[in-house]
Chains A and B, each alone.
Chain A
């Protein structure tokens, strides 16, 4: 039972539809930046996106090839484990369904990997069925490096650390293993609606 915080009234109560704000979150109009190290700057001519690991044939796209893939523009709500949520964010990128189409694998898990060494783990099924993208535009502009440009994973139904910035590919795996923050005690799955912030939540 939480003690009453004497004199606390809560002036930040959301005007937004409460059905869109997960427990413990508040709505911000800013776009805060969180990352564990310096922002990498990868030249587009050195960029590629690769699907490898437990697959019959690894596949890789250059930046130019990636831009030529069918793109989608989606409007989604995002939820950061540090408590902010941002509603109606607009992203353009390539659906993971497009990228995984034709990839033969019996793997059930994915480790996303990024420039700078960041990793995060997800069940493969969370990337399928129109739930995940590799996004390279935010609000119609090229994605800023601070926010993960040139391209980041976008998996809005999980806490935003799963949406790996500076993503360079996916390693498909038979077994699940913790990624970077998951190894430091953050929740392995990270469903904001179940408030799965930390291990054991």
Chain B
């Protein structure tokens, strides 16, 4: 594994919510105005801290959904019903509200042009969020690195960034493939099952082309995808993972 130094103190800063966009029934994107933001790299995350009126605080980590080139920092948050912070962010936070955070955090689950490719992004559920930042970054810098996104969701209604991804998928040069594991529309032409070795064998470049792979999603999804790719002959050192625990 390689190492890149990221130094400097991460201080808490207060942003202002500028826009809220419902992505699915369970997810919402939060655009923030952050005067002190020093920039980020695609794939990094932030720590968000909430404070109750009696001073009680809770903090959690959320992936950044926006590219470094985008005008605002955007977080996309999925509501976990037994969660403490996510229900607030998805259902209660309003435009103009302050939101305290610090970041960017993480330097390994990051893609930028200098890392090359081919770039294979594999997302399960809300695991697509940091991959979307990479995808937007790839488009924003006009990268010629070949890339593919494989996105597994339960149904079309659960696909986050559906319009944006469908629009991109309609372009020939952007290779986005979906698998809908629970429910597929009648005219569905994508995959309709949970990811497995055969599916990844079809979607991934052959191991000889040494794709750089980023997998993000729930633990079971990430384990399945990573193990299948290793079994197919991919170099474990070219596979970067990020797993979602309960938050």
Interface residues of chain A, those whose CB is within 8 Å of chain B, are 2-13, 24, 26, 28, 30, 32-40, 82-84, 116-118, 146, 178, 180-181, 183-185, 197-201
Contact = CB atoms under 8 A, between A and B. Distances in A.
Contacts, number: 145
A180 B50 CA distance: 30
Q: Which of A12, A84, A198 has the most CB of B within 10 A?
A: A198
B223 interface: yes
B173 interface: no
Contacts of A178: 3, 5
Interface of B: 1, 3-10, 12, 14, 47, 49-53, 56-61, 83-84, 88, 92-94, 97-100, 105-109, 219, 223, 226-227, 229-230, 236-237, 239-241, 243, 245-247
B8 A199 contact: yes
Main secondary structure of the interface of A (DSSP, over half): loop
Contacts of B47: 197
B241 A3 contact: no
A83 B60 contact: yes
Contact of A118 (B1, B10, B99, B105): B1
Contacts of B57: 2, 10, 24
Nearest to B3: A183
Given A3-B51, A7-B88, A37 B237 contact: yes
Contacts of A83: 59-61, 247
Given A32-B245, A38-B239, A200-B8, A82 B61 contact: yes
Contact of A10 (B52, B100, B237): B52
Contacts of A5: 50-52, 88, 93, 97-100
Contacts of A82: 61, 245, 247
A38 B227 contact: yes
A139 to B, nearest CB: 18
A38 B223 CA distance: 7
Given A2-B14, A28-B246, A183-B107, 7 more contacts: A8-B52, A36-B1, A38-B226, A83-B60, A185-B5, A199-B7, A200-B8
